[in-house]
């Protein structure tokens, strides 16, 4: 046999702090390596060892449970730049999706209502959703037939023309202006405070992803499974499919993009560490609407828009409050003084001064001694900056966001109206119409606010000029006005000053829209024409208010309209999720045997044909740390429901050494770190080869009914095939470069899996977990190059 090949060292780094070798993730599309240090920091490095960013928790009390890169890395931002996401789960059950470009969290959701619930496993996979088109087309000529035969239905390749689908996939959102960033204020962890975060959050729907859906499966330590799609659209949470007890936890997840059935490994943490295999059938991928990807992506975009609108609304109320607090303080002081000796208030007194030129002594003392030039500047700055900020938020943030909502809702309306007879999407066009009506109400209120803000800025400018002139005039010792003072007075529009005093000074018209509402007003709001459009009624009530007539005070409130919009949308989101959740089925469990906690194990899925696949599972039994059990399960799919047709097992005894770690490299090779007499070797075990060393013993090939058994199928293993030390060493195809000081203890592989076939990488950690090497593995082809993080900077 040829001498083993020394793998190429692409990168090598010694860290300042030890890392957790269980928490390692190599990006599938960029040469980025994510690690978790022992002080609970997530460190992301380039291939050359340069640190890209660090993610920490502000509280510093939580631990990192799992990390996972988004599969294939084809989440497209604007301008077609790759936006890779890193999922980080924390010990309180929250999952944060962090953009590799901005290092900011773009999504965050909780997997449990219990803050003490940690995460045991997090899987992220991509599935195809290809279905036959609804439209028909005429085939003419042999060349046309030949062309269609050559065109595959798999995503990433051309499909037959489908005009209704192509019209649906036309994306006009890219022609809309980008949403503006919001001021960082600690709300939602400043997700909307940077351009890169907004681009990652509001990426347009890429037609190339119309036949694909990303699925995330999160297992928690209370035994539940949390399922979400398209980054953050939550489908729901499920009890453990093995047992109702909390002791059975998800430890491994694997899926193939062509099959809607996902493969789960669960382990019982209370007993003998029994390992169970359970197939999870996601029938919503194979049986739901052909527009599942579009529906999920636009629903997620609408969720993000609602979060954006909620923050804009909070900032608007904050800006309006800022225009009221300081002036209100000044006015309360003088009104208290006037109430002691006078029968008039400050508005009447200032109105008298503007109309007659005479100022009452108490008001003069207040203007000159208390308010003075410094107080006027503070007053002017508070009102002008607040109103300008309010105008900017409405014009640059709220109205564009509402416009985008309307576009997304029109798409959802189309999906609801023209879904197939066998499709169940969970909502109706009537529900979307009510949300559209609420968006129209918000557009009306936002337009009224903008008009009022512009008017108030204009009137306040005149009032502020007059107030400054009056302070200077009263503070002057000269009885004769200077030419400059006379020129200032002549430039003041006194009619606007009087109008400001009458209509705005002590009661801003903006209060009807921006004042915070009580619970009683919310109850009144939801009781007004519940379940029917409110736009016409709102328009009538606003007209009544402007005509100074009695009106429903709760109807024009911005916070109540936003709350109503969120509740309406949440109802639709829940119904979509419930419709998909009903299409999640679990097959019968297969008991594989007992394993030790944190024992090495791996699982892979091999394509057999369009309706069947093999699932390979390799693990070390608890009884022997030198032994490997390999299980092959043939799974057949029909109408999205899986059946376990055959289960075969094999067992190898790897000489006299100990298995340190193992990973499935490709469709046939198992890489094993094997230690004997203080020396660690990298072995190649052909677990799926048709002619493996010593043969592949199999048992239990009878067909199994997938849903006929209520108790897990218990496997039996044949007598182990013993491979002697010299046979093992002769099977080694690769060696890990380095001197004797580097003792490999942990493997991590980025294999050539998925549609984009990334360049394979092998990450090896040394003893102590402060030193790692990135090694290049031979690839089947180099057609698809990795994206350099340096090109993205």
Comparing CA positions, the residue from 309, 273, 248, 311 lying closest to residue 121 is 248
So what's the pLDDT on residue 4? 80
518-534 mean pLDDT:
88
Asked if 639 and 131 touch (Cβ cutoff 8 Å), the reply is no
Q: Are residues 233 and 332 in the same domain?
A: no
Is the residue at 73 inside a domain? yes
So what's the pLDDT on residue 111? 87
So what's the pLDDT on residue 443? 97
Q: Give the residues across from 750 on adjacent strands.
A: 761
Is the residue at 603 inside a domain? yes
Q: Helix/strand/coil (H, E, C) string of 112-163?
A: CCCCCCCEEEEEEEEEECCCCCCCCCCCCCHHHHHHHHHCCCCCCCCCCCCH
Q: How far is CA 408 from CA 295, 308, 399, in A?
A: 10, 15, 14
For residue 200, the enclosing domain spans 5-129+166-288+583-792
- Quick count: other Cβ atoms within 10 Å of Cβ 185? 13
The total number of residues shown for the chain amounts to: 793
What is the phi/psi pair of residue 341, to 5°?
A: -125, -15
Q: Are residues 267 and 249 in the same domain?
A: yes
536-563 in b/e burial notation, b at 16+ Cβ within 10 A? eebeebbeebeeeeebbbbbbbbbbbbb
660-687 mean pLDDT:
87
- Among 531, 565, 581, residue at a domain's last position: 581
Total domain count for the chain? Answer: 2
The DSSP code for 175 is G
Is the residue at 149 inside a domain? no
Is the residue at 741 inside a domain? yes
pLDDT in tens, 324-378: 999 999 999 999 988 887 778 999 999 999 999 899 999 999 999 899 999 999 9
Q: How far is CA 766 from CA 45, 273, 425, 728, 738, in A?
A: 17, 27, 50, 22, 11
Is the residue at 749 inside a domain? yes
d(CA 269, CA 247): 5
Q: Helix/strand/coil (H, E, C) string of 247-292?
A: CEEEEEEECCCCCCEEEEEEEECCCCCEEEEEEEEEHHHHHCCCCH
What is the phi/psi pair of residue 579, to 5°?
A: -65, -40
So what's the pLDDT on residue 104? 83
So what's the pLDDT on residue 632? 92
Q: Helix/strand/coil (H, E, C) string of 295-338?
A: HHHHHHHHHHHHHHHHHHHHHHHHHHHHHHHHHHHHHHHHHHHH
How many helices (H) and strands (E) the chain has is answered by 18, 32
Q: Is 766 left (phi over 0), alpha (psi -120 to 50) or beta?
A: beta
Q: Helix/strand/coil (H, E, C) string of 675-724?
A: EECCEEEEEEECCCCCCCCCCCCCCCCCCCCCCCCCCCEECCCCCCEEEC
Give the residue, 313 or 655, on which the prediction is more confident.
Answer: 313
pLDDT in tens, 106-164: 888 888 877 668 899 999 998 887 654 444 444 444 454 454 445 444 444 555 666 66
224-244 mean pLDDT:
87
Name the burial class of residue 358, with classes exposed (0-12), middle (13-18) and buried (19+) by CB atoms within 10 angstroms of its CB. exposed
Q: Are residues 561 and 494 in the same domain?
A: yes
- Among 581, 601, 623, residue at a domain's last position: 581
- Among 566, 581, 596, residue at a domain's last position: 581
Q: Are residues 494 and 599 in the same domain?
A: no
Q: Are residues 194 and 304 in the same domain?
A: no
So what's the pLDDT on residue 751? 63
So what's the pLDDT on residue 245? 59
Q: What percent of the chain has pLDDT over 90?
A: 45
Q: Are residues 653 and 754 in the same domain?
A: yes
Q: Are residues 575 and 662 in the same domain?
A: no
So what's the pLDDT on residue 151? 47
pLDDT in tens, 687-732: 875 544 444 333 333 333 333 344 567 788 888 888 888 888 877 7
442-469 mean pLDDT:
95
So what's the pLDDT on residue 99? 86
Name the burial class of residue 602, with classes exposed (0-12), middle (13-18) and buried (19+) by CB atoms within 10 angstroms of its CB. buried
CATH of the domain at 115: 2.130.10.10
609-615 mean pLDDT:
92
Q: Are residues 618 and 666 in the same domain?
A: yes
Q: What percent of the chain has pLDDT over 70?
A: 83
Which of the four pLDDT bands, split at 50, 70 and 90, describes residue 265? very high
494-513 mean pLDDT:
93
Tokens for 123, please give them.
Answer: 């899987």
So what's the pLDDT on residue 61? 83
So what's the pLDDT on residue 694? 44
Tokens for 149, please give them.
Answer: 């035969």
Q: Three-state SS for 658?
A: strand
12-23 mean pLDDT:
91
Q: Are residues 85 and 224 in the same domain?
A: yes
Is the residue at 20 inside a domain? yes
Is the residue at 493 inside a domain? yes
29-38 mean pLDDT:
90
Is the residue at 623 inside a domain? yes
pLDDT in tens, 621-635: 988 888 999 999 999
The DSSP string of 555-615 is TT-HHHHHHHHHHHHHHHHHHHHHHHHTTEEE---EEEEE--TT--EEEEEEE-SSSEEEE
Q: Are residues 511 and 625 in the same domain?
A: no
d(CA 493, CA 471): 17
Tell me the whole-structure pTM to 2 decimals. Answer: 0.83
Tokens for 751, please give them.
Answer: 């294999």
So what's the pLDDT on residue 709? 43
Which of 27-31, 477-481, 562-566 shows the lowest per-residue confidence on average (mean pLDDT)?
477-481
Q: Are residues 405 and 455 in the same domain?
A: yes
The mean pLDDT value of the chain amounts to 83
Tokens for 118, please give them.
Answer: 């940690």
pLDDT in tens, 545-597: 999 899 999 999 999 999 999 999 999 999 999 989 999 999 989 999 988 88
pLDDT in tens, 178-196: 899 998 765 445 778 888 8
Q: Are residues 267 and 299 in the same domain?
A: no
State the first-to-last Cα distance of the chain, in angstroms, to the nearest integer: 46
So what's the pLDDT on residue 783? 44
């Amino acid at each position: 046999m040829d001498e083993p090949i020394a793998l190429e060292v692409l990168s090598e780094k010694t860290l300042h702090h030890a890392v957790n070798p269980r928490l390692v993730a190599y990006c599938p599309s960029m040469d980025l390596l994510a690690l978790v240090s022992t002080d609970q920091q997530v460190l992301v490095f380039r291939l050359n060892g340069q640190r890209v960013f660090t993610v920490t928790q502000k509280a510093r009390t939580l631990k990192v449970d799992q990390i996972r890169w988004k599969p294939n890395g084809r989440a497209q931002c604007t301008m077609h730049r790759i936006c890779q996401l890193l999922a980080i789960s924390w010990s309180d059950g929250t999952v944060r999706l962090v953009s590799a470009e901005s290092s900011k969290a773009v999504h965050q959701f909780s997997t449990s209502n219990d803050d003490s619930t940690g995460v045991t496993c997090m899987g992220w996979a991509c599935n195809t959703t290809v279905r036959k088109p609804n439209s028909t087309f005429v085939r003419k000529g042999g060349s046309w037939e030949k062309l269609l035969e050559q065109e595959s239905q798999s995503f990433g390749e051309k499909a037959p023309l489908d005009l209704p689908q192509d019209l649906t996939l036309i994306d006009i959102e890219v022609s809309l202006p980008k949403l503006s960033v919001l001021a960082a204020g600690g709300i939602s962890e400043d997700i909307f405070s940077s351009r890169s975060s907004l681009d990652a959050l509001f990426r347009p729907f890429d037609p190339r992803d119309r036949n694909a859906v990303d699925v995330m499966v999160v297992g928690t330590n209370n035994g539940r499974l949390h399922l979400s799609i398209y980054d953050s659209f939550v489908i729901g949470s499920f009890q453990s499919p093995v047992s109702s007890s909390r002791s059975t936890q998800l430890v491994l997840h694997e899926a193939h993009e062509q099959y809607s059935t996902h493969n789960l490994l669960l382990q019982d943490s209370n007993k003998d560490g029994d390992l169970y295999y359970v197939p999870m059938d996601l029938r919503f991928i194979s049986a739901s609407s052909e527009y599942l990807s579009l529906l999920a992506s636009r629903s997620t975009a609408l969720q993000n828009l609602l979060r954006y609108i909620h923050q804009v609304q909070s900032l608007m109320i904050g800006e309006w409050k800022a225009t009221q607090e300081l002036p209100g303080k000044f006015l309360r002081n003088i009104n208290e003084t006037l109430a002691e000796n006078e029968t008039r208030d400050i508005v009447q007194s200032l109105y008298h001064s503007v109309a007659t030129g005479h100022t009452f002594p108490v008001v003069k003392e207040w203007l000159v001694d208390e308010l003075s030039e410094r107080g006027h500047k503070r007053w002017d700055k508070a009102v002008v900056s607040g109103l300008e900020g309010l105008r900017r938020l409405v014009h640059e943030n709220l109205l564009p966001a509402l416009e985008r909502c309307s576009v997304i809702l029109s798409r959802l309306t189309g999906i609801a109206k023209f879904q197939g007879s066998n499709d169940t999407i969970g909502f109706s066009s009537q529900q979307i119409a009510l949300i559209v009506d609420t968006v129209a109400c918000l557009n009306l209120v936002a337009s009224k606010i903008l008009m009022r803000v512009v008017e108030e800025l204009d009137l306040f400018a005149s009032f502020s000029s007059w107030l400054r002139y009056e302070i200077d005039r009263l503070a002057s010792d000269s009885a004769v006005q200077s030419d400059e003072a006379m020129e200032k007075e002549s430039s003041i529009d006194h009619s606007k000053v009087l109008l400001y005093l009458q209509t705005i000074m002590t009661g801003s018209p903006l209060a009807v829209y921006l004042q915070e509402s009580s619970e009683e007003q919310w109850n009144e709001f939801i009781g007004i024409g519940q379940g029917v459009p409110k736009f016409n009624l709102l328009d009538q009530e606003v007209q009544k208010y402007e005509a100074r007539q009695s009106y429903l005070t709760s109807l024009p409130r911005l916070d109540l309209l936003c709350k109503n919009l969120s509740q309406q949308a949440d109802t639709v989101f829940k119904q979509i999720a419930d419709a998909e959740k009903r299409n999640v089925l679990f097959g019968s469990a297969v008991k594989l045997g007992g394993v030790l906690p944190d024992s090495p194990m791996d699982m892979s899925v091999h394509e057999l044909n369009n309706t069947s696949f093999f699932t390979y599972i390799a693990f070390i039994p608890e009884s022997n740390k030198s032994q490997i059990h390999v299980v092959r399960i043939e799974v057949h799919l029909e109408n999205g429901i899986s059946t376990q047709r055959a289960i075969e097992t094999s067992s190898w005894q790897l000489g006299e050494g100990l298995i340190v770690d193992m990973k499935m490299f490709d469709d046939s090779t198992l890489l094993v770190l094997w230690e004997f007499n203080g020396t660690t070797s990298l072995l190649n075990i052909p677990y799926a080869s048709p002619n493996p060393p010593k043969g592949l013993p199999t048992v239990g090939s009878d067909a199994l009914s997938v849903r006929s058994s209520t108790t897990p199928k218990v496997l039996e293993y044949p007598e182990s095939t013993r491979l002697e030390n010299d046979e093992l060493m002769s099977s080694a195809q690769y060696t890990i470069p380095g001197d004797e000081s580097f003792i490999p203890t942990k493997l991590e592989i980025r294999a050539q899996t998925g549609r984009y076939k990334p360049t394979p990488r092998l990450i090896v950690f040394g003893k102590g977990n402060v030193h790692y090497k990135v090694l290049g593995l031979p690839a089947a082809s180099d057609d698809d190059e990795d994206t350099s993080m340096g090109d993205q900077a």
